[in-house]
Amino acid sequence: MDFLPLFFNLKSRQVLLIGGGDIALRKARLLKRAGVYLTVVSHTVDDELKALLVNANDQIVIGEYHAALLEGKALVVAATDDKDLHERVHYDAVALNIPVNVVDTPSLCTFIFPAIVDRSPIVIGISSGGESPVLARLLRARLETLIPNGYSRLGSLVGRFRQQVKATFGSVNERRRFWEHVLEGQVAEKVFSGRNEEAEALLKAAIDKGENSHQIGEVYLVGAGPGDPELLTFKALRLMQQADVVFYDNLVSAEVLDLCRRDADLIYVGKKRDDHAVPQEGINALLVQHAQQGKRVVRLKGGDPFIFGRGGEELETLKSHGIPFQVVPGITAASACSTYAGIPLTHRGYAQSVKFVTGQLKNRKDKLNFSELVHPNQTVVFYMGLHTLPTLAESLVEHGKPADTPVAIVSKGTSPDQKVLTGTLADIAAKQEDAKLVAPALIIVGEVVALQDQLAWFGDNVEQEGLTHALGMLKTEK
């Protein structure tokens, strides 16, 4: 280990910064965030750098650096393009045992600035020892996305109650178990979702009751997206990795499911056409039952839980039993599958609106308002309509939609097995009869489908015949 990671408390300490340009400005911003009193030495000083020096103990010295400026300083940073000056600063600081940093010159540094993830009071430093600062910044960017800003509020909340917990729980192990329970439970989740007052009330109650008191669990209704695990939100992934039990649907891909916490109980409650592993009422009861046992429950649904996902019904049951819950949106299939198929749902030249419609008719054809689905300059996306495709196509034509309107079927969208079949309202049912694309599948109806042969970038097209001609005709008509 070339550098020992340390955290300096520099609040109200004097720091010397040599340089007045852009690099010095970046260092000054970081130092001022740490609460230092800053002395800047340079022949010229950037206006933004001057604006940072608002404290009466800050100062600017216009002119040359000299060793006497090091007196009383806790730290020194050299940020110029003068190599000889940098060497002088280094040797002067080392002689006085003052930590020194010389930008972009690790050999002249007794300390280095890491790439920082700041969730104060939680701070993470990442260093390559000066060997690869770009790699350190890339790793910081990765961590920035994985660690919510709520950790800052959570750290502050914990700090305010640390002494109270120490007084309540006598042993180190008791305190450790208590904080683990708090930091992985509802208190943390309420902080992350911005409900700080509720989080503080829960923490106070937990301290008063003691560690072993029973607490009700929480249910997280999580949208798993259309299948590609890289389309998960960061919040979805975080909750999946801390769940005690996961109830998952048929449309949740194996790749997404594999990202759940390894020791969580995974319970399949999926529904296929005419085949429900667990009735909806049973799913509702299971969510309540496990939450009442104090467990963190993830209800993992394909796509978005509030778009044809019956998420609202499950939340109504949870609400009636006093079970706390959160909802994490997912990328709905219409958006993801159309994008992966190269079909923009809206386009200035073809469609200015889009409708999402369920294709599960079940002898209720009259329940669909087809007159609302045949307007021009509109895209219609049918979910779960593969088995009623002939009826859907015929009904749209009967209600006035042109028979040559482009149609696409996207099967297993966003997965490596994605296939796209294109045609028109007149022939798509016959083409599907031959192609036999499988569910899950979406049906996209509208002129935007004609763009697919130009914009397709992922998966396989079953056939493209006639699409280029159709696009040309549409452009001519425009």
Q: Is 304 annotated as a binding residue?
A: yes
Q: For residue 125, say whether it is annotated as part of any ligand binding site.
A: no
State yes or no: 126 annotated in a binding site. Answer: no
CA distance 437 to 413: 11
Residues with Cβ within 8 Å of 47's Cβ and at least 6 positions away in sequence, in order, are none
Q: How many CA atoms lie within 13 A of 43 on its CB side?
A: 4
The answer on whether 283 is annotated among ligand-binding residues is: no
Tell whether 303 is in a known binding site. yes
Catalytically active residues, by annotation: 249, 271
Number of neighbouring beta carbons within 10 Å of residue 478 = 8
Q: Tell whether 22 is in a known binding site.
A: yes
Residue 226 annotated as part of some ligand binding site: yes
Q: 3-state secondary structure string, 96-132?
A: CCCCEEECCCHHHCCCCCCEEEEECCEEEEECCCCCC
With contact defined as beta carbons under 8 Å apart, do 299 and 222 qualify?
yes
Task: Output the CA torsion sign for 298, 299, 304, 307.
Answer: negative
* Residue 20, marked binder: no
Residue 11 tokens read as: 């609040």
434 appears as a binding residue in the annotation:
no
* Residue 384 among known ligand-binding residues: yes
Sheet with 353-358: list strands edge to edge. 353-358, 378-383, 441-445, 406-411, 419-424, 460-463
Are 38 and 31 in contact by the 8 Å Cβ rule? The answer is yes
Does the annotation list 217 as a binding residue?
Answer: no
Place of tokens 């003068």: 82
307 labeled part of a ligand binding site: yes
Annotated binding site for NAD(+): 22-23, 43-44
What are the binding residues for S-adenosyl-L-methionine? 226, 302-304, 307, 332-333, 384, 413
